[in-house]
Structure 1
């Protein structure tokens, strides 16, 4: 039954040689890897206005020069990541660049930041998409968290079905969103040119504003830079592209940068000219659409596509998180399970882990996007800074042809990214201070995991491990609960192994039961030694494990190995297991950690 449900949800398994069919062309890659960056147009301009409104609505004209600064940063990042794509064509992005050029710890800071950031990508995108839906339908506001969780579950299932299948589904909403915003911007600009929008709605550019300060402007710039989150995703996911992967990735990156620049500029300008003021329950894009078209079909079309891309932007996290996890797992910094491909050839463990972590985050923050965006953005700009710095070191060290130009590009990107990171810490410290706590913890965990894997490898390696002690014989201990076919089956198996001796162990709670069982045993199995243990506190585990430890200590002196052979009956139907106490599972769980004890289960299958 479970297998049938799994097949229905994620599809039939794919053969390993079908991996090439799961690669993305530029059109699908742009949809699946750029949705995060493009979707940030829906909340990036709004974040600028939220900061400026603390001074007054008259200060909104500053959004124009701030947007120019964001576009300069975008250009530097696009050029920088284009160089990373060709320098490191196997993917890995900021983690690989930082680890290779700056050292292990800077690499882990970048990798840890991005892992957390991709979780935030899903949480922020889905929360923002839910906000867009509830802006159009205010009666749904009370169900924001539930709606967001449902969308995360659906996205997780979609990605478990495979990269190409999810890309095929996501391409339409992404391109519809781009079309909808271009129509909105085009009609909005037409209305401005034809004079349908009165100029009194906004303050002219250059108007002196009392109370404005460099601190406020830098804070607004940092908030607006949240629109650039997701730019690095393409450099992380190069292995997902069809050959020639680096060329296709670079072209996709350029297309994403162009679209992002046009959409961001258009929304910022319309918000300024229309005099839009950010509201708690209505997004800026929603207000622009309502001012431009009224509350008609086009308004709901824009809101619908905006909600879709905000939700589906989370798919950038689903595309990049598993690949980054693979790089970290290959370097033994996170569990190896993240390197395994699932039935549909995707890294399903990474996809599931991302989905679960995102749901926990949405519930913890109650779906409030504005609380997550600063943490989300600073988590991106730390890797931005480290990756660009790593490329600077690479060019200075290797000095390839044209390295001076490349050095200038990466230096510019590193400097601006560093400034934005510092501004985030200075202006939004109350919201991003947790980065300074969880990053050291994550890096410590990475090193502990790596140390464990190295210790395991050292102990398992034939050339370095201690010589094995020869086993002279075997003592079998059989826990018994009664005189049944299950016990008989286990004793017959034990006898077939020809051990030195077999000891049956019965744990009694009452003295009378103990004597009765001993008498019955002598008649049933007189050739098998029975040991009865009285449990004063009605525990089976404690007296049994104590007895096994005693036998193991004595057997070890003669180089004998103790095997605990646990009888277990298997019900015909799975749900029948809930009707039994599963004591055999508890015994096995407790005994598995005994150093010189072998634990074996002998199943007895019931027929009805």
Structure 2
């Protein structure tokens, strides 16, 4: 992507958060009445400093990880396995809440302009999640292209609002209305200020999106990514500070019926077309900002699955090159959270900061360790920036965890703990399965001789003895055993004990056997051929390269082609099937046999057979 395209695509989440970040800060300070509101500038100043420090920190991350440096990767590489998982837990919580909070805030922008829709907030929000689900299942690239116009429209709307509002405020000497009265429900204290700081800091969500997506930029990728990050942080600071100043000068207060941004726009422009434009741009960018999570959540989940911390089904790409299972999981979870909190932004905010700044803290701490170990050029300056980012992020994380614990932060903390428990249990099961399945010297008997193989679709068709008659007759008219002509096809993902048992079973049938392997890349295909030769090349092998990482679809197409060339054959597809001692562990293993049965059911003369391999109890 060019920088002008990457900025709106990757910054929508961060920039749109100014629609609820200042309001969340103000809502906490307002609990202490007018005395609490006097701290709005100091708290906002601290948040701006935090934005600057974390932005500088992620500039160092981009330079150190030019292939993408998300919190899971950085923390795992430099701090170890458990800190990496904790960072991943924070990220996953963040992404789920990004969808819920962005849509809740977008619904608030719509209902502020059209109050009659307030009662329909939850159904409309769930409907938007379903639209995002459908759009992302069609492909991340197409969904991401929707970002540019709404994001730039939102930036233009905010700058117009801030500029016009400051002109009006200048005419009044930048003084708030003298009639401002706020009821007092709390006292000014350190805890209140800490809560306001952590609430306002949610305006920083999404700031690490650019460091995750460095390879998506044009060359030189890391340099263009750093430039885009600088622009994003600059825009974020200007818009956040401008809105805080306008809030102070106008005296608007949070309301359950209308957002602060809507009140500012109405005071500045009235209810005309400019007000409608600001509200429409705000709603659009907030609703689409949720799509940032649809880019990152499935990708992090696929990395966890690659490392055996999540079910391997989350590594599978759909036909549109999207991690379909991860997208579905995100949509379902975000919809449940959105409905559980009745689509209210104020109720969701306390959960938000914990996951965000937990990931920030571990990522930046990991970068400190990275620079200390590498000691490359300018390492001291980079280490200082990352140490500052880690320290400030840790302060916000601790602040949010303590001050908002009873308000809902405990949910995020418990979610992180459950995530660690589940992922480590999954890893332990996969390690036990790997031990049970691995090949050992002299553990298996090799066939005494090679078994003659059949003609495959990649070779020239040959007429068998009954080939012509078989093609002319009804495809499923065989009624006598001698009329049935067999071909056994063994689908193999890897050479392990389960695959060897399946190959042995197929060879024992004394029928022509063909081994079939699906690889995602040519180098992996060649590696499998080498393993096959080392085993002894006792059966003919056909390797299909599937760059889209699909397994069932290319296998089905291959069988269709084979059936068209040799309609006289009855194809028996034999696949290994892992059977676990505990039913819940079955979800962690491939269900290829079930998917093949569903896909091949419409085709005649195809039989699916699974050979079970029972894992020992773990």
* 1:262 counterpart = 2:234: no
1:544-567 CA distance string (max 9 Å, x none)? xxxxxxxxxxxx9xxx99xxxxxx
Which residue is 1:427 aligned to?
Answer: 403
Which residue is 1:339 aligned to?
Answer: 315
Closer, same or farther in 2 for the Cα pair 1:42/1:605, shift >3 Å?
Answer: closer
Which residue is 1:28 aligned to?
Answer: 5
1:155-213 CA distance string (max 9 Å, x none)? 22333333443233220011000000100000000111123986434889xxxx99321
Which residue is 2:364 aligned to?
Answer: 388
* 1:315 counterpart = 2:287: no
Which residue is 2:133 aligned to?
Answer: 156
Which residue is 1:325 aligned to?
Answer: 301
TM-aligned CA deviation for residue 317 of structure 1: 0.7
Q: Is the 8 A contact 1:458 1:464 kept in 2?
A: no
* 1:454 counterpart = 2:431: yes
Q: CA RMSD in A?
A: 3.6
Secondary structure in structure 2 of the residue aligned to 1:90:
coil
1:508-567 CA distance string (max 9 Å, x none)? xxxxxxxxxxxxxxxxxxxxxxxxxxxxxxxxxxxxxxxxxxxxxxxx9xxx99xxxxxx
Partner Cα distance (2:476, 2:62) in 1: 64
Partner Cα distance (1:594, 1:490) in 2: 38
TM-aligned CA deviation for residue 439 of structure 1: 1.5
Closer, same or farther in 2 for the Cα pair 1:593/1:398, shift >3 Å?
Answer: closer
Partner Cα distance (2:95, 2:145) in 1: 21
Which residue is 2:537 aligned to?
Answer: none
1:53-74 CA distance string (max 9 Å, x none)? 1110453231111111001100
Q: Is the 8 A contact 2:89 2:355 kept in 1?
A: no
TM-score by length of structure 2 reads 0.71
Which residue is 2:257 aligned to?
Answer: 281
Aligned length: 483
1:414 to 367, 379, 390: 390
* 1:366 counterpart = 2:337: no
TM-aligned CA deviation for residue 75 of structure 1: 0.7
Closer, same or farther in 2 for the Cα pair 1:490/1:61, shift >3 Å?
Answer: farther
Q: Give the unaligned 5+ runs of structure 1.
A: 1-23, 472-484, 498-555, 562-590
Q: Is the 8 A contact 1:374 1:424 kept in 2?
A: yes
1:406-429 CA distance string (max 9 Å, x none)? 121111111111111111122100
1:276-318 CA distance string (max 9 Å, x none)? 1110121000011111111111111111111111111101111
* 1:44 counterpart = 2:21: yes
Q: Is the 8 A contact 2:298 2:323 kept in 1?
A: yes
Correspondence 1:2-17 to 2 at 5 A? none
Partner Cα distance (2:86, 2:580) in 1: 38
1:100 to 71, 77, 81: 77
TM-aligned CA deviation for residue 368 of structure 1: 1.8
TM-aligned CA deviation for residue 264 of structure 1: 0.3
Q: Is the 8 A contact 1:92 1:323 kept in 2?
A: no
TM-aligned CA deviation for residue 379 of structure 1: 0.5
Which residue is 1:194 aligned to?
Answer: 171
2:44 to 48, 67, 72: 67
Correspondence 1:144-293 to 2 at 5 A? 144-195=121-172, 199-201=176-178, 211-293=187-269
Partner Cα distance (1:373, 1:32) in 2: 24
1:16-45 CA distance string (max 9 Å, x none)? xxxxxxxx2222221121111111100000
* 1:126 counterpart = 2:126: no
Bigger radius of gyration among the two = 1
Closer, same or farther in 2 for the Cα pair 1:314/1:42, shift >3 Å?
Answer: same
TM-score by length of structure 1 reads 0.72
